[in-house]
């Protein structure tokens, strides 16, 4: 990917069900999908002691949400790439559904968050990573440097999160850099805080994203508006000449 932006990329985000957004698109529409679906843990952050400022529960999080995978397959181009976040204890459900839908599973990717989170303080290992499945529709070959299976990026400061599952923009930029080509279209079916939208915008990639939750969607819209009114401090080509960790700060 040349990363030279000669126009503003398309950037569409909607407050809707991803099943509807997929239905509206023709077959073979997207080249790259980065998905961070509800894992089925009925998650609500208990970090904040003030109950009023707790983030709302994640919608659709009663059981691992995998129903979007099969319809997605048709909507992706030949050679399309899927990166799907998942949790180790529901790995089988995601892996089986991705394979059953026609994708070829190629790699497991690890996001090393550098700093560990909380979890069961006395009973479990301190959690410091998240996992992704990398799968393709047909075959995709890397043309540049072959990416490694571990991305190292500091997680977002919990005090600055606008969404409990917010991914760092830098992490998503590096995934996009490794997996996209000029003119590609990116889809994030579970937009959340909109980190993927900001990453795609900065990388000059056309983008579609959606989220069911109205409150999270409004937060994302504000964040994106604030981001795009800011000029980029670096040319995108320059930004990747450094170590991955803490490359970008928002």
Ligand X SMILES: C[S@@+](CC[C@H](N)C(=O)[O-])C[C@H]1O[C@@H](n2cnc3c(N)ncnc32)[C@H](O)[C@@H]1O
Q: Contact residues for ligand X (CB under 6 A)?
A: 17-19, 36, 38, 58-60, 65, 163, 165-167, 189-190, 192-193, 195, 210-213, 216
32 or 212: CB nearest ligand X? 212
80 or 168: CB nearest ligand X? 168
Whole-angstrom distance, CA of residue 191 vs CA of residue 212: 9
Residue 199: HSE in the Cβ half-sphere, 13 Å Cα cutoff: 28
Closest distance to ligand X from the beta carbon of 216 (Å): 5
Closest distance to ligand X from the beta carbon of 116 (Å): 19
Choose among 140, 138, 130, 159: nearest CA to 36.
130
The pair of three-digit structure tokens given for residue 230, joined into one six-digit string: 């800011």
- Can you list the alpha helix ranges (DSSP code H) found in the chain? 18-23, 69-75, 91-100, 169-179, 195-203, 214-228
Closest distance to ligand X from the beta carbon of 209 (Å): 9
Closest distance to ligand X from the beta carbon of 210 (Å): 5
The DSSP call for residue 221 is: H
2 or 42: CB nearest ligand X? 42
138 or 196: CB nearest ligand X? 196
45 or 104: CB nearest ligand X? 45
Closest distance to ligand X from the beta carbon of 2 (Å): 26
The per-residue DSSP string of 26-91 comes to PTT-EEEEEE----SS-------SSGGGSPPPPTT-SS---TTHHHHHHHEEEEEEEEEEE-GGGH
140 or 217: CB nearest ligand X? 217
Closest distance to ligand X from the beta carbon of 20 (Å): 8
Does residue 71 contact residue 17 with C-beta atoms inside 8 Å? no
Does residue 88 contact residue 131 with C-beta atoms inside 8 Å? yes
Residue 111 pairs with which residues in a beta bridge? 130, 151
Residue 47 burial by Cβ neighbours in a 10 Å radius (0-12, 13-18, 19+): middle
4 or 218: CB nearest ligand X? 218
When CB distances to ligand X are compared, the closest residue is 192
Closest distance to ligand X from the beta carbon of 194 (Å): 7
């Amino acid at each position: 990917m040349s990363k030279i932006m000669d126009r503003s990329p398309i950037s569409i985000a909607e407050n809707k069900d991803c099943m509807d957004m997929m239905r509206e698109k023709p077959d073979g529409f997207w080249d790259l999908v980065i998905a961070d679906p509800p894992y089925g843990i009925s998650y609500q952050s208990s970090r904040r002691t003030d109950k009023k400022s707790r983030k709302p529960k994640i919608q659709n999080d009663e059981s691992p949400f995998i129903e979007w995978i099969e319809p997605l397959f048709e909507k992706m181009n030949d050679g399309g790439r899927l990166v799907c976040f998942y949790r180790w204890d529901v790995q089988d459900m995601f892996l089986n559904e991705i394979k059953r839908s026609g994708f070829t599973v190629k790699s497991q990717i690890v996001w090393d968050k550098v700093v560990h989170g909380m979890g069961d303080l006395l009973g479990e290992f301190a959690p410091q990573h998240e996992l992704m499945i990398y799968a393709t529709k047909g075959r995709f070959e890397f043309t540049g440097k072959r990416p490694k299976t571990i991305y190292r990026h500091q997680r977002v400061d919990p005090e600055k999160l606008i969404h409990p599952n917010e991914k760092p923009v830098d992490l998503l930029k590096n995934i996009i850099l490794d997996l996209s080509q000029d003119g590609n279209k990116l889809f994030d079916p579970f937009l959340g805080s909109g980190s993927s939208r900001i990453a795609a915008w900065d990388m000059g990639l056309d983008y579609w994203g959606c989220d069911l939750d109205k409150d999270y969607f409004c937060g994302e819209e504000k964040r994106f508006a604030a981001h795009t009114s800011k000029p980029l401090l670096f040319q995108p080509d320059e930004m990747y000449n450094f170590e991955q960790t803490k490359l970008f700060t928002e």
